[in-house]
Structure 1
Amino acid sequence: MLVQAMKRRLSKEENQKGFTLIELLAVIVILGIIAVIAIPMISGIINNTGDKADLATARQAYEAARMYVTTELDGNPGTRDIPIIGTAAVAASGSTAASPATGLMHMNFLENPLVLPSTKENIIGGIVKYTSGDLDPTTAVTLITANKNLTFTKEQILKTKLK
């Protein structure tokens, strides 16, 4: 009799297919824990990537200004703000002199239009600022879009590695 009961029990288990409710709940709980951990990490990585891309764009503007200083100013920028885009003249700070179509984009030292990677907006203004022949320590590069103004320090710009 015991043998027959065991055979019936085993035959029932062999016919059962799928997972029990507890097994399914355990899997759902594990997936929930993974999601709680992974989602903030992924969004942090995405935000970090945008900030780094913006800094790389600022470094690109700095490199364009360096080329401009080397080719047009004989390597001596003095104290001046070099516009990224616009019609303001590349002149010494405080000067009101102006000439049409100047700025790093208009002089073909930078791609036109230049886009801020984090927001995908066109850069509509900005400067690379030199003080006494060197990048300004606090406001080396400023990038301006319709909705965002970003300022980068000399240290941030020079620490950026170009690839």
Structure 2
Amino acid sequence: MLKKLGQKLKDQRGLTLIELLAVVVILGIIAAIAIPSIGGLINNSKKDAHIATAQQMANAARMAVTADGLVSLGTNEVDGESVTSGQIKLGELVTNGYLEEVENPSDKENGYSDTGSYVEVEKNGNNYIYKVKLVGGAENGQTYITTATEAKDLKRSNVTLK
């Protein structure tokens, strides 16, 4: 019995060239599908991190305005209406202890610009609106989040990765 089993094992050979080629083609197809998907996941994660940072900045600005009126609001004329608004820069939020140093997920070496990144505070009646602009600290001034949207309503489409 053992001799027959041993003989069967000796008669078996490895993979044929066709079988090996089929395996390589299948692995290539899987890689072609998986790699772009992973790239998209990484970009979406970075965008979500920028949005989280923008929302943290807006919350810190909310605390700063509530606690000691860190921002001085001025009145401007916009579309025929009087709008009260002002800016709080990222560096001011960090210096005054409302926000810890934040890391830029797209450029860890340069971080965000302390002066180019800010929260725009608008007073509309008794309500405040907080809009955030994040700018990379590199010389090319990469903008990550636009100011067009209130911080609580930010979506991935508001984030531009450069």
With normalisation by structure 2, the TM-score equals: 0.68
Identity, in percent, stands at 39
Aligned length, in residue pairs: 129
1:82 deviates by: 1.1
* Structure showing greater Rg: 1
1:131 deviates by: 2.1
| Equivalence map 1:55-70=2 (5 Å) | 55-70=51-66
Q: Secondary structure at the match of 2:93?
A: coil
Q: Report the Cα distance in structure 2 between the residues aligned to 1:153 and 1:110, rounded to whole angstroms.
A: 19
**Structure 1 letter corresponding to 2:145:** T
Q: Tell me, which stretches of 5 or more residues in structure 2 are unaligned? A: 1-6, 74-83, 156-162
Q: Report the Cα distance in structure 2 between the residues aligned to 1:22 and 1:58, rounded to whole angstroms.
A: 55
Larger % of strand: which?
A: 2
1:118 deviates by: 2.2
Q: Secondary structure at the match of 1:81?
A: strand
**Structure 2 letter corresponding to 1:145:** G
**Structure 1 letter corresponding to 2:90:** I
**Structure 1 letter corresponding to 2:104:** L
Q: Report the Cα distance in structure 2 between the residues aligned to 1:71 and 1:154, rounded to whole angstroms.
A: 26
Q: Tell me, which stretches of 5 or more residues in structure 1 are unaligned? A: 1-10, 86-102
| Equivalence map 1:58-137=2 (5 Å) | 58-73=54-69, 78-85=84-91, 103-112=92-101, 114-120=102-108, 121-125=110-114, 126-133=117-124, 134-135=128-129
The one-character-per-residue Cα deviations of 1:73-112 (angstroms, maximum 9, x if unpaired) are 29x9652111111xxxxxxxxxxxxxxxxx1110011113
With normalisation by structure 1, the TM-score equals: 0.68
